[in-house]
Amino acid sequence: MSFKQKNIMVTLVNFSLILLFYLLRVSQLLRNDNFSSTPIFRLWGIIIVMAVFVTIAATILTHIVSAIIAAIRTGQKNPKIEDFEDERDKLIDLKGTQFTYTASSLGAFVAMLTFVFGQPPLVMFSLLIFFGVLAQVMGDITRLVLYQRGF
């Protein structure tokens, strides 16, 4: 497994955990009859901050773990980690991003549909962030599938 694949795998696991956390928090708010603008927008902020930090932390963590594994395997103090991007990596990344944008656009459309069914704006906002994180997860899965198949 290449460095890029490991990095995507770590990001995928992290974003899946963020999605799980979000769903748990929203269900908790619904159960406690506390589904109002203040906790929902606070949750928005938490999710966005978590997403930014997770992306940075995932790259650093993958670097460290890859270096340790490579050092153990080769016995070298400073093993070479293949972390550069070639044209295939960039194309796979682009296809994943395309999938993410398509999924998040569809998600935004579904979220807007809630207005048609007379739901309050908070439902729309909650669905918007849910589909945003879900799209990221789906994009990462697409990237992993493409790496597994070759392209």
Partner 1 sequence: MAKSSISNNIRTLRFMHSEMTQQDLADKVGVTRQTIVAIEKAKYSPSLEVAFRIARVFKSPLEAVFSYDEEEESI
- Residue 151 touching partner 1 (CB under 8 A): yes
- Residue 2 touching partner 1 (CB under 8 A): yes
3-state class (DSSP) for residue 34: coil
Per-residue mark of binding to partner 1, 79-108 (x: CB under 8 A): ---x-x-xxxx-------------------
Nearest-5° Cα angle at 139, 134 to 144: 125
Q: Which is nearer to partner 1, 2 or 37 (CB)?
A: 2
- Residue 147 touching partner 1 (CB under 8 A): yes
Asked if residue 139 lies in contact with residue 24, where contact means CB atoms within 8 angstroms, the answer is no
Nearest-5° Cα angle at 25, 101 to 128: 25
Site residues (vs partner 1, CB under 8 A)? 2, 82, 84, 86-89, 147, 149-151
